Amino acid sequence: MKKTKVSFNPVKLDYSCELMRALAHPLRLQILEYIDENESVNVNKIYHALNIEQSVTSQHLSILRLAGVILTEKVGKYVHCKINYESCSRAEVAVRNFMNYNKKSA
């Protein structure tokens, strides 16, 4: 039997793990949904609207930003967040491909 060598690009694998981890949390998904409904929104509005502590909101937004899921822009004293739809689309395609591969393998 012939063995197949599998190799992964560690940088892409790390990024993929961070992206999936960022999208796997229910509160972060709720934050993303709120941002999506409002296109661009400042951090204060997010934690007030979702009734979350400011520090908790900032931690979750930081994870989303580091994963490339949201983009931030400082406008005066406020930080505005918007969704990076390109990054979300890549995650959706990757998950869909993975699910289709598993269906074929089963």
Helix residue spans in the chain (DSSP H): 10-23, 26-38, 43-49, 54-66, 85-105
Full domain range(s) for residue 19 = 10-105
What CATH number is associated with residue 20? 1.10.10.10
Residue 72 in domain: yes
Task: Classify burial at 43, counting beta carbons within 10 Å of its beta carbon; exposed 0-12, middle 13-18, buried 19 or more.
Answer: middle
Half-sphere exposure of 39 (CA within 13 A, CB side): 0
Distance CA 84, CA 88 (A): 7
The domain tally of the chain equals 1
Residue 53 in domain: yes
pTM (two decimals): 0.81
Q: What is the pLDDT of residues 20-69, one digit of tens each?
A: 889 999 999 999 999 999 988 999 999 999 999 999 999 999 999 999 99
Distance CA 72, CA 35 (A): 11
Residue 1 in domain: no
